[in-house]
Amino acid sequence: MGGKKILRVDLSKGTVREEPLNQDWIKKYIGGRGYATKLLYEELKKGTDPLSEDNILIFANGPLTGSNVPTGGRYMVVTKSPLTGMIASSNSGGYWGAELARAGYMFIVVEGKAKKPVWISIRDDKVEIRDAASLWGKDTHQTTDAILKELGDDKTRVACIGPAGEKLSRIACIINDKHRAAGRSGVGAVMGSKNLKAIAVKGSGTFKAANPDALKETLRGAMQKIKENGVTGEGLPTYGTAVLVNILNQLGSYPHKNFQEAVDEEAEKHSGERLAETFLTGKTNCFACPIGCGRETALKDKHGEGPEYETLWAMGSNCGVEELEPIIRANYLCNELGLDTISSGGTISAAMELYEKGSIKKEELGSGPELRFGSEEALVYWVEKMGKVEGFGAKLAQGSHRLCESYGHPEFSITVKKQELPAYDPRGIQGIGLTFAVSNRGACHVRGYLISPEVLGLPEKLDPWVTEGKAQWGKIFHDLTAAIDSSGMCLFTSFALGADDYADMLKHGAGFDLNPDSLLKAGDRIWTLERLFNLREGLDPAKDDTLPVRLLTEPISSGPAKGKISRVKEIIPEYYKLRGWDAKGIPTAAKLKELGL
Amino acid sequence: MTRVSFFGMVRDIIGEKEIQIQGGDSVESLLEALSGRYGVQFGEKVLKTPERDLALILLLNGRHIEHVGGLSAPVKEGDHLAVFPLVGGG
């Protein structure tokens, strides 16, 4: 198993201590997202202010993080979100999580608040809380470089926040390995609220499989499936995620100008194909990843990774910006300043709509450029101000929900549970609308990627325009994803692998007694516990399990999906029933008993 | 005439972004016309197998062909076929 201990850090007291894993929780919740949810549920008091010292910030590996299973390098950050007020559960790749496993830890639980900025140094079981005065104010790249220089070791892995997290932007992320993000729900602000700038990790351990011979055999089959699958073996390695721009646009479900339209006539200009012809310089892989979807890019004056599909859309089409150069620049700024690109793009686009419709006045912008759709200058300028939480950027840094509410136009905020929607229009793709509406962390596509059957045809082709059957598909995808996120593997493997493969890897890699059914049941348990957490924090299913009013009432105005609205309200009652929840969306006593909750 | 757009690896293989082609009255006959135009390269590298177990996403006027009749989906004057490799992401 990758890391067998919990490292508990109390920043108020300045203490660190090790704890053993709760083996009963491991069996029921696997690790990663699942175990961390259980820990948060048990330890966090109801109603805790997410940005107070009472919040708990959990860095969570899965039992396969740091192993040689394909993509076995993922970790999660779980906490109470300052954006949604509900559970935050953000996943990241790179190499940081695997290094934490090598140091012997599966979880870091950060409590309290340091009196002054600090960073945590972990070198196997030698853990120190160190002064971060000289790091505070630095961006994520400068911070990483400064820590590596101070340690005199460029093999150490660093996860840190930028100015956005320090200044408590509710859409701040945590960046590890300079380019990978635990992006969503404002986890970076929780880190900032604790005066914690960074966690640097170096380990010397190795992964020991429960049954090396059986694991070897399982991996042979899994690697073959990943290699032969069209998406994981060819599509993602060749083009990365960016190749989705054209396909979603051709489907007429590529949100444009804050979801006012669903076709972008100029999308080709910022497509994956165009990126490959212009700014692409190379490809990157995360730890133990045979897919390699990461993209290296360069502008004249800087280089970096990305943008991914979501970012191309969020900074591009959704803001009416078509050319790659400003989108790439805005993407780099988000990574350096520590902002979630999806929520940043969704907030700028909402601000552009507010400005064009007369709610935001020119004088509020000071000397900054007008927030007009299509303005490259405005995109780059305001992303920087947002990341530095300066001037009008401070308003933007709170996310689109708070921004639009403050101007009396909550309908311009395209959010669920106050979190910005990703790059798919649920009016033209009905099933993904269910995932957006019921996702426990607010609008999210990777809580159950129904784009796979509805658009790509994997594992079979479903009609994106119909609602029938989507509740069943949704539940299976949601449960399987919760289990994968708890294992330490990347969701992208699920284009090629099924529940039986994950159960076998957990069995032979980490000693779990799992089969496909019990794996999915663990996913069901994790999803339901997240639901219980949210209900305890005040979730109102009737109000919160839905989509923005625009998507429920304003038909798509042009393109192949012209005339469509989201009919997610037709899907949700069946979904609740399949989950064993009552008609109001509350898990029944019988269901809780069945799941051992 | 039918407008055909190529994306991703298909575009790289064929070396064209978009063409107009006279290609019969179904998706299948259109693919045959494309095979005729691009020869072995299109058949082997794009269609891949004689059985046409397509590793492709074909959108006819923005709808996946699966939902409009599959390979026998009718194609009429002025229609648009978008040809994508099997891709994915998040």
pLDDT digits (tens, 9 = 90+) for A78-134: 999 999 999 999 999 999 999 999 999 999 999 999 999 999 999 999 999 999 999
Pair A406, A305 in one domain:
yes
A residues 177..196 contacting B (CB < 8 A): none
Does B62 contact A492 at a Cβ distance shorter than 8 Å?
Answer: no
> Pick from A105, A76, A84: which is nearest to A176 by CA?
A76
Chain B CB contacts of A247 below 8 Å = 7, 57, 59, 82, 84, 87
Cβ separation B86–A231 shorter than 8 A: yes
* CB-CB neighbors (< 8 A) of B82 in chain A: 246-247, 250
- For residue A174, the domain's CATH number is 3.60.9.10
pLDDT at B17: 96
A441 shares its domain with A539: yes
Does residue B49 register a pLDDT over 70? no
Q: What is the pLDDT of residues A383-420, one digit of tens each?
A: 999 999 999 999 999 999 999 999 999 999 999 999 99
Which residues does chain B have within 8 Å of residue A236's beta carbon, measured at their own beta carbons? Answer: 87-89
A252 and B64 within 8 Å at the Cβ level: the answer is no
Alpha-carbon distance of A590 to A593, in angstroms, equals 5
Mean pLDDT in residue range A318-336: 98
Q: Do A405 and A482 lie in a common domain?
A: no
Is A241 in contact with B90 (Cβ distance < 8 A)? yes
Q: Which sign does the torsion angle of CA A451, A247, A459, A225 carry?
A: negative
For chain B, the structural domain boundaries read: 2-85
pLDDT of A2: 65
Q: Is B59 part of the contact surface with chain A (CB cutoff 8 Å)?
A: yes
What does each C-alpha distance from A297 to A38, A94, A239 come to in angstroms? Answer: 39, 17, 13
- Residues of A with Cβ-Cβ distance to B54 under 8 angstroms: none
A337: confidence class by pLDDT, cuts 50, 70, 90: very high
Name the domain boundary from A386, A419, A452. Answer: A419
A274 Cα to chain B: minimum distance (Å): 10
pLDDT tens, position by position, A150-168: 999 999 999 999 999 999 9
Q: What is the pLDDT of residue A271?
A: 96
Question: Which residues span the domain enclosing A57?
Answer: 5-202
pLDDT bucket at A541, cuts 50 / 70 / 90: very high
Quote the number of domains for chain A.
3
DSSP A479-515: HHHHHHHHHT--GGGGGT--HHHHHHHHHHHH-----
Is B64 within 8 Å of chain A by CB?
yes
Q: Is B69 on the interface with A (CB under 8 A)?
A: no
**In this complex, do A273 and B7 lie within 8 Å of one another by their Cβ atoms?**
yes
The whole-number pLDDT of residue A230 equals 85
Domain end point (choices A371, A398, A419): A419
B55: which chain A residues are within 8 Å (Cβ-Cβ)? 230, 234
Q: Tell me, yes or no, whether A14 and A116 share the same domain.
A: yes
> What pLDDT score does A235 carry?
87
- Residue A218 maps to a domain: yes
Say if residue A183 is in the same domain as residue A227.
no
Angle subtended at Cα A91 by Cα A480 and Cα A500, rounded to the nearest 5 degrees? 25
The yes-or-no verdict on residue B80 having pLDDT over 60 is yes
- pLDDT score for B52: 42
- Confidence class of residue A557 from pLDDT cuts 50, 70 and 90? very high
Q: What is the pLDDT of residue A239?
A: 85
Task: Look up the CATH number of the domain holding residue A581.
Answer: 1.10.599.10
DSSP string over A209-250: -SSHHHHHHHHHHHHHHHHHSIIIIIIHHHHGGGGHHHHHHH
Neighbouring CB atoms inside 10 A of A453's CB total 20
Structure tokens at B49: 């197998």
Record the tokens describing residue A47, joined without a space: 């109603």
d(CA A521, CA A511): 18
**Partner-chain contact A560 B62, CB within 8 Å:** yes
The answer on A65 and A198 residing in a single domain is yes
CA distance A19 to A567: 48
Residue A229, domain member (yes or no): yes
Looking at the structure, do residues A164 and A45 belong to the same domain, yes or no?
A: yes
Q: Check pLDDT > 70 for residue B54.
A: no
- Number of residues written out for chain B: 90
Q: Residue with structure tokens 């029933």?
A: A577
Backbone phi, psi, residue A419, to 5°? -105, 135
Mean per-residue pLDDT, A140-155: 97
Residue A1: pLDDT band with limits 50, 70, 90 = low
The one-letter amino acid at A275: L
Q: Enumerate residues 6+ apart whose C-beta is below 8 A from B27.
A: B58, B60, B65, B69, B70, B71, B72, B73, B75, B81
Q: Is the confidence at residue A141, as pLDDT, over 80? A: yes
Are residues A86 and A163 both part of a single domain?
yes
**Chain A residues within an 8 Å CB radius of B63:** 560
Contact state of B88 with A491 under an 8 Å Cβ cutoff: no
Task: Give the residue from chain B lying closest to A276, CA to CA.
Answer: B8
Contact A203, A101 (CB under 8 A): yes
Same domain, A298 and A158: no
Report the pLDDT value the prediction gives residue A238, as an integer from 0 to 100. 87
Q: In this predicted model, what pLDDT tens digit does every residue of A434-456 receive, in sequence order? A: 999 999 999 999 999 999 999 99
Do A403 and A443 sit in the same domain of this protein? no
CA-CA distance, A146 to A143, in Å (whole number)?
5
CA distance A98 to A447: 22
Confidence band for A513, pLDDT divided at 50, 70 and 90 = very high
Residues contacting residue A65 through CB under 8 Å, at least 6 positions apart: A2, A3, A31, A32, A72, A73, A74, A75, A97, A98, A100, A101, A106, A488
- Considering only CB atoms, A241 lies closest to which of B8, B55, B89, namely B89
Size of interface A-B (CB pairs under 8 A): 101
Chain B residues with CB-CB distance to A240 below 8 A: 89
Is residue A259 in a domain? yes
* CATH at A369: 1.10.569.10
Contact status of A469 with chain B (Cβ, < 8 Å): no
Q: Please give the structure tokens belonging to residue A227.
A: 């290699």
The domain B2-85 belongs to what CATH superfamily? Beta-grasp domain (3.10.20.30)
What contacts A54, CB < 8 A, 6 or more positions away? A44, A45, A48
Interface of B with A in 14-53 (CB under 8 A): none
- Given a cut of 70, whether residue A189 has pLDDT beyond it is yes
Q: How far is B88 from chain A (nearest CA, A)?
A: 6
Q: Which residues contact A23 (CB under 8 A, 6 or more apart)?
A: none
User: How far apart, in Å, are the Cα atoms of A376 and each of A14, A62, A325, A460?
Assistant: 45, 40, 9, 40
Domain end, chosen from A171, A202, A233, is at A202
Locus of tokens 């299976």: A476
Q: Any CB–CB contact under 8 A between B88 and chain A?
A: yes
Residue numbers in B near A74 (CB within 8 A):
none
Which chain B residues touch A231 with a CB distance below 8 Å? 86-88
Same domain, A366 and A490: no
In a shared domain, residues A18 and A165:
yes
Whether A553 maps to a domain, the answer reads no
